[in-house]
Amino acid sequence: MRIKNITFIIFSLFIFNGCYSKGPSYEYFKENRDIHLFKTVIPDRFHNKREVYSEDKYIYKLEHPKGCHFGYLTNRDGKPEVVREWIILSGEEFCKDTRSWTLSF
């Protein structure tokens, strides 16, 4: 019985922990940023990071992974505030993500 419990715990940790495929790349980073285009998640979640970028855009400056500074540009003209595009501000060589996946039921 004890062996079954240990096996079950190890199996559960593996399943819910996730797995990574390949190394980090800019393509995965770009895919992860593009997910937020034309949505209101960024303005709702990071309202304290909003700055004026131009006369018609706000910018939300973020850093992820460490050393990669980028920003989401949103409309400034009216509501709802929606992400229109994103740009890399500095640290382009650090802007790489690793694709990960988990098994979920």
Question: Does 13 reside within a domain?
Answer: no
Question: What distances in angstroms separate CA 85 from CA 12, 41, 60, 82, one per listed residue?
Answer: 39, 13, 11, 9
Question: Does 44 reside within a domain?
Answer: yes
Question: Does 87 reside within a domain?
Answer: yes
Q: How many structural domains are present in the chain?
A: 1
Question: pTM for the complete prediction?
Answer: 0.72
Per-residue model confidence as pLDDT tens digits over 31-66: 989 988 998 888 999 989 999 999 999 999 999 889
Whether 85 contacts 56, CB under 8 Å: no
- Whether 2 has a pLDDT exceeding 90, the answer reads no
Per-residue model confidence as pLDDT tens digits over 10-30: 777 666 666 666 678 889 899
Model pLDDT, residue 100: 66
Distance CA 65, CA 94 (A): 7
Question: Does 66 reside within a domain?
Answer: yes
